[in-house]
Amino acid sequence: MIIKKILNLLRELDKIDTQSFFGHYSSKYVWQQYAKVNLRRAGWKSKKEIIAEQKALELKRFYSTLYNLKKQGFIIKDRVANKFSFWRLTKSGLNKLLDLELKFKDRLESLKPAYLEKDSLKLVIFDIPEKRKRYRQWLRETLINFGFKMLQKSVWLGENKLPENFIHVLGRLNLLQCVHIFSIKDRGTLL
């Protein structure tokens, strides 16, 4: 999240001029990658045109983000001798950063298997209430990590074995009553 990165950078450096923000944005490698992708898309534009357009677009997005942060009172802009603009973090900006850090700290890490072991076809169906939607996202990310494919948003299919710790974590999160796992012996029309 770019807002968190900008606010964190301003907290660490106290203040920074606009040119310093764009050190990595204007690096040759970044613009070469943009050019490769867009040359394939456009076909008729020159590499220099594509690089110039992408750089202008990124600068516009970045300045738009800075403007919105300033408008919300999270950062302020100081001018020095009409040459440089320095951006500083405000007290409300620091509070916003701390809120964002707490929000990301409470985020659940999805489970990742050490190796995938084939097993019988499994169907995972879940219905997690809206007030616990962050658990839904965690479950989807975990199922993707286990090699499952989405049939519908809450219906997933996969051939890999679900580890025992997956069931333990579901129990710890009080999700066992919301998640149903079926083992399928005959494929029928599913695949």
pLDDT digits (tens, 9 = 90+) for 88-133: 888 888 888 888 777 766 667 777 877 788 888 899 999 999 988 8
Q: Same domain for 7 and 72?
A: yes
Final residue in a domain of this structure, among 71, 105, 139: 105
Q: Same domain for 19 and 100?
A: yes
Residue 190 has pLDDT above 60, yes or no: no
Number of domains in the chain: 2
Q: Residue 154 — pLDDT band, cuts 50, 70, 90?
A: very high
CATH of the domain at 157: 3.30.70.240
Residue 25 has pLDDT above 50, yes or no: no
With b for 16 or more beta-carbon neighbours within 10 A and e for fewer, the 153-190 pattern comes to ebebbbbbbbeeebeebbeebebeebbeeeeeeeeeee
User: For residues 175 and 143, is the Cβ–Cβ distance under 8 A?
Assistant: no
Q: Which residue has the higher pLDDT, 99 or 79?
A: 99
